[in-house]
Amino acid sequence: MLKEKLLDFSGHLTDLLPLEKTEISNLFEKPKNKDHGHTSLPVFRFSKTLKKAPPVLAKEVAEQIINKKIDGVKEVQAVGGFINITWTNGYILENFKEFINEEKLGYNDSGKGRKLIIDYSSPNVAKPMHVGHLRATIIGQAIRNLAQTQGFEVIGLNHLGDWGVQFGKLAWAYKKWGSEYDFKNDSFNSLYSLYVRFHKEVEEHPEYEKEGAAAFKRLEEGDEELHKIWKEFIDISMAQYQKTWDRLGVKHDLVKGESFYADPRKLDHVVDLLEKKELLEESEGAWVVHLDEKRPPCLIKKSDGASLYATRDIASALYRMQDLECDVNLYVVGSEQKLHFSQLFSVLEKMDYPWAKDCHHVAFGMYRFKNVGKMSSRKGQVIRLDDVLDKATEMVLERINSKNPDLKNKDDVAEIVGVGAVVFNDLLNDRVKDVEFDWEKVTDFEGDSGPYVQYSAVRCKSLLRKAKEKLKKDSFDFAVTLSEKAEIDLMNLMMDYPNILSNSYKTFKPNYLASFLLEVSRAFSSFYNKCPILSIEDKALMESRLALVSATLKVLEEGLKVLNITSPEEM
Ligand code: ARG
């Protein structure tokens, strides 16, 4: 039921329970058993104050609610310490219409007037994005979209890994061996090959290490030639990443790579601030900030004066929170960087920034592939993000060829469904856990998969196309009240959408939304199986059912959009 309606309803209960109506309305939960009514009010917390056992209290209050004859209430039942409420069909439809006709479905303005910055994808120049970046990209974009539904002003940030001694090495390698590669036609692979080559050659020629470090020093000091080469590396890499982001529909608003903070003025500023707070200590020639016994100190400046990943992240946090005036700062990065972020946030706390508590590491687990062999994962190397997308698309195309061989634009559909399958599968998993990646399951059209949700949307679309033709109408209204259980259940479930969005955002867990979309798909399937639509005589009922189909499509498409997934017209 809608939040405002529960609030109204709670207003009727303030003389029965010792709480304000807003607080009462926050207590309602979904009954564990669907046959136990539409919403449930646990009374355990009142037991002590009112000096009654929960089941006794639930029974008494339930009776009092019945006596009040409140509008919309059909049944009230006490089960254990719960009061279960069933609404009338008319009341559900009335609420549902209000819900579905909202302009921005499920949005609220809890974040209004606040700025949220979210760092996601953030690959490392010269290296292909791997499955870790797949997660950072997909989860990050979904949380970014979720934040928008909560009314935040959102800045999507690409904290590109474009600085560090490796770029000195790479530029040196480029000057030495660059001409052996086809930078003109195959620039990104050439760049990566060069990277791999340097690390291989160094094993036999350790002196190359020094050459690389010296080149980095010169790059830091502003050497023009090296700077030009380095800039070229960034352009080549960004062009490559852009292709992947386009496939995934991922967008950043701002690119501020690590090099942006490597500027000596910014770094000196960080060092100055730490010194003023007397946090900087010397340790084996380097400068560090000591934390607690449980964690190693945070390394700020190496003995040769060079900055580190952490130093650049401190500068970046200052930039985000002070220069850009953000209120919330999210880092969507794998769990393997847990220590780094805990150190970073502790240093910010020690620097007395009150906003340190508004910085969050949105961590995630790793992928474990079942049947890696099915993918041409160049043995022993990292699994590339694009290879995962290609493989999924290929598998979906096979399925289409066997199920629906006459489909038009098969390749385009396979791309939408294949990419959607990977994205959905990722988001369906609780992000903190590792993901068991099973190709068959991920691309299954009928299982708990993205294709299944997309398929449900496609079914709605096809039904509506046929209906428009048959009834010579473009849109459908709820002409009569719907009363089949499958219809009521579907409407009641969908009205939970705003709650799902806000819970997903608050926990930074898009899996609540993904699971919800599966539930809606299943509820739609029950409705579709039990309630005939285009074959019935009763035109008013037919229209109402079509209105429900079109509402379901809206919820599915809006929800998928938040997860950054689209659905094809047919599949
Ligand atoms: N480039 C890093 C990596 O690929 C991720 C950067 C995350 N963001 C940050 N502010 N440290 O591992």
Secondary structure percentages of the chain, helix, strand, coil, to 5: 55, 10, 30
- pLDDT score recorded for residue 79: 95
At 33, the pLDDT band (50, 70, 90 cuts) reads confident
Fold of domain 3-87: Gyrase A; domain 2 (3.30.1360)
- Show which residues are catalytic: 127, 130, 133
Please tell me whether the overall predicted TM-score, pTM, comes out greater than 0.75 for this model: yes
- pLDDT score recorded for residue 380: 42
At 209, the pLDDT band (50, 70, 90 cuts) reads very high
Contacts of 232 (CB under 8 A, 6+ apart): none
Domain coordinates in residue numbering, the chain:
3-87, 115-367, 440-562
- pLDDT score recorded for residue 32: 84
What superfamily in CATH does domain 115-367 come from? HUPs (3.40.50.620)
Q: 460 C-alpha vs ligand 1 centroid, how far in Å?
A: 41
Residue 98 and residue 4 in contact, taking contact as beta carbons nearer than 8 Å = no
Name the residue at shortest CA distance from atom 8 of ligand 1. Answer: 159
Residue 320 to residue 493: CA distance in whole angstroms: 39
Other Cβ atoms within 10 Å of 164 Cβ, number: 19
Query: Which region among 29-43, 120-134, 163-177, 251-265 has the lowest average model confidence (pLDDT)?
Result: 29-43
- pLDDT score recorded for residue 372: 63
Helix axes 264-276, 309-318, angle to 10 degrees: 90
Q: Are 3-87 and 440-562 in the same CATH fold?
A: no
Q: Verify whether ligand 1 is closer than 6 Å to residue 307 (CB atom).
A: no
Q: What is the pLDDT of residues 289-302, one digit of tens each?
A: 999 999 999 999 98
Ligand 1 site-directed mutation target among 254, 314, 337, most atoms within 8 Å of CB: 337
Residue 326 to residue 152: CA distance in whole angstroms: 10
Of 23, 63, 64, 61, residue with least CA distance to 43 = 61
Average pLDDT of the chain?
94
The two tokens of residue 553 are 């499509």
Q: 183 C-alpha vs ligand 1 centroid, how far in Å?
A: 26
Of 556, 552, 555, 531, residue with least CA distance to 542 = 531
Q: 290 C-alpha vs ligand 1 centroid, how far in Å?
A: 23
Q: What is the pLDDT of residues 362-389, one digit of tens each?
A: 999 998 887 665 554 444 457 889 999 9
Domain 440-562 has CATH 3.40.50.2300: no
